[in-house]
């Protein structure tokens, strides 16, 4: 109401309430002070940061996907190495058992 917006309640009901409510009257007065204090101020339009933020997010997402791919590849290589080592030691053990007969 202080800034000219339509109040969400009936003006008559609001005035009736203000007439008997000290708290709301004080609040309304403070809004009026705030509105008149800021009436002459003009806010500068902030620069549109959305494209820069979106570009940075996209870059970060691509970086995370690359890191994930590298981690999966490293895990696969490690698994392969472990499997080869197990196969080799099993073969060596089998050969040793065979030769002992
Ligand atoms: Zn009140």
pLDDT > 80? residue 99: no
**So what's the pLDDT on residue 101?**
62
Ligand 1 geometric centre to CA of 34 (Å): 19
**So what's the pLDDT on residue 1?**
57
Strand (E) or helix (H) holding 52: helix 50-100
- And the tokens for 88? 């080799």
**So what's the pLDDT on residue 33?**
82
Ligand 1 geometric centre to CA of 39 (Å): 25
Tens digit of each residue's pLDDT (9 = 90 or more) over 10-68: 889 989 999 999 999 999 889 888 888 888 887 777 788 888 988 988 888 888 888 88
Indicate the domain borders of the chain. 1-41, 65-101
CA atoms within 13 Å, Cβ hemisphere of 86: 6
Q: What is the arithmetic mean of pLDDT over 79-91?
A: 86
**So what's the pLDDT on residue 10?**
87
**So what's the pLDDT on residue 26?**
92
**Using alpha carbons only, how large is the chain's radius of gyration in Å?**
37
Euclidean distance between CA atoms 101 and 97, whole angstroms = 7
| Confidence bin at 2 (pLDDT 50/70/90) | low
Ligand 1 geometric centre to CA of 23 (Å): 6
**So what's the pLDDT on residue 68?**
86
């Amino acid at each position: 109401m202080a800034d000219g917006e339509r109040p969400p309640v009936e003006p008559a009901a609001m005035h009736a309430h203000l007439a008997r409510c000290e708290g709301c009257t004080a609040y309304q007065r403070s809004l009026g002070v705030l509105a008149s204090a800021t009436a002459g101020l003009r806010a500068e339009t902030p620069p549109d940061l959305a494209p820069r933020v979106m570009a940075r997010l996209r870059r970060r997402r691509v970086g995370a996907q690359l890191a994930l791919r590298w981690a999966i590849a490293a895990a696969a290589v490690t698994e392969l190495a472990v499997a080869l080592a197990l196969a080799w030691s099993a073969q060596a053990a089998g050969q040793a058992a065979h030769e002992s007969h």
